[in-house]
Structure 1
């Protein structure tokens, strides 16, 4: 099983290093950033399974960042805040925060809560990206609340892209993950054909896609 990746956005470098070391000792892979801008770059370029962020950052705040990321992809977000007020709790809930703790905090409790977030039954949570929603319980796809009928292969391909949103994926990666995992041999043209079919169903203008975009000479990216 692949290691879960946690992106830490914290401007206190000592705390950042301590969190990284402690979480790595638990078997997680970590990435770290000190600003909103750097954190967003890492999130879009490399992705993560859980976001652990500070409330106050040099170029923004965790609440706004949480709302922005939740609008792109539904992943667990855990906030660390220097304050412990009812207003912060209300604001956290309104922005879609999954959990938060005030500083100073117990590292053991933090790790237990992170573990719980990562182990929750993700099949019960729809996977959303922009105007696209995937219900993994029923294997149905919706665009702006309207159901989009996809074949089994199209559904698996879309799920793979959305789960790796913001990452450039080569045709070889897509073949390995969507087709070779089933033990079926296919050629690269199969990827292109199925992507064209997906675009015709999901994009407002399939010839000028906004979601499933070509990266010339490399592969594709889901935006």
Structure 2
């Protein structure tokens, strides 16, 4: 059974999250402080750490290195939704970053995606033609040159990568990028981010993101992972 360590100092949020995740069949151990989180990582066995950043006795960021050194995937769930905080969390090695207020269904979906990646024998690099995505470092390059993506553009790319070859509705894509923004993302905004992602990653003769008229979009290129 999958064991999740939840570090959240807001009792209402903690109870709601724990209940929701247990309904997914996972076992949840919950604490509210940095010290308790450290002790739990030292003495317990977990498949995933879900941690708030702002804790009464320190930062949830301090738990990330301890968890990653034990091979435990990390997801931050926090009210700090500015792009700098998101990028910092991902640069520290977090596998995902969710901004409050979040939807419980979305949290469960993100956890499943991270657990699937973690089960892939440590594979963390995806390739789309001449585009390389290092998901451990949250870095994207094309033909060996860095590609600068905003947090929303990067989250949109990860949403496509999680469903290669599958047509995603605009609603599904909006769900995938909602929490990173921390604000309302509408249908027109999504079109802008799709356009920007295409401009940064696609070659004129080889589209990566294909429009499926009347439905949504599909990641067209063959995707494979490598160490």
Report TM bin, short chain. Answer: 0.5 to 0.7
Contact kept? 2:7, 2:31, Cα under 8 Å = yes
- Matched with 2:134 is none
Q: Deviations over 1:26-67 (max 9, x none)?
A: 100010111011111112111210000001001111112212
Q: Distance in 2 between matches of 1:91 and 1:54?
A: 14
- How far apart are residue 122 of structure 1 and its match? 2.6
TM-superposed CA distance for 1:123, in Å, is 3.9
Which of 119, 123, 127 is the equivalent residue of 1:122?
119
Q: Show structure 1 runs of 4+ deviating over 3 A.
A: none
For the residues of structure 2 that align with 1:18 and 1:124, how far apart are their CA atoms? 31
Taking a change above 3 Å as real, the CA distance of residues 15 and 92 of structure 1, as seen in their structure-2 partners, is same
Q: State the distance in 2 between where 1:121 and 1:64 align.
A: 21
Q: What does residue range 107-186 of structure 1 map to in structure 2 within 5 Å? A: 107-120=104-117, 122-125=119-122
Q: Give RMSD over aligned pairs.
A: 1.4
2:51 to 25, 50, 53: 53
**Equivalent position of 1:88 in the other structure:** 85
Q: Is the 8 A contact 1:63 1:91 kept in 2?
A: no
Secondary structure of the equivalent of 2:5?
Answer: strand
Give the unaligned 5+ runs of structure 1.
127-223
SS at 1:124 equivalent:
coil
CA deviations 1:170-194 (Å, max 9, x no partner) are xxxxxxxxxxxxxxxxxxxxxxxxx
Residues of 2 paired with 1:83 and 1:8: CA distance?
Answer: 17
SS at match of 2:86: helix
Higher RCO, 1 vs 2 (CA within 8 Å, ≥6 residues apart): 2
Three-state SS of the structure 2 residue aligned to 1:80 is strand
- Spell out, residue by residue over 1:57-87, the C-alpha distance to the aligned partner (whole angstroms, 9 max, x if none): 01111112212332x2121101011121111
Structure 1: distance between partners of 2:110 and 2:67 = 20
1:11, 1:35 within 8 Å by CA — same for their partners in 2? Answer: yes
Q: Is the Cα–Cα contact under 8 Å of residues 90 and 97 in structure 2 kept in the other structure?
A: no
SS at match of 1:75: coil
Whole-Å Cα distance in 2 between the matches of residues 90 and 118 of structure 1? 21
Shift in Å at residue 121 of structure 1?
5.4
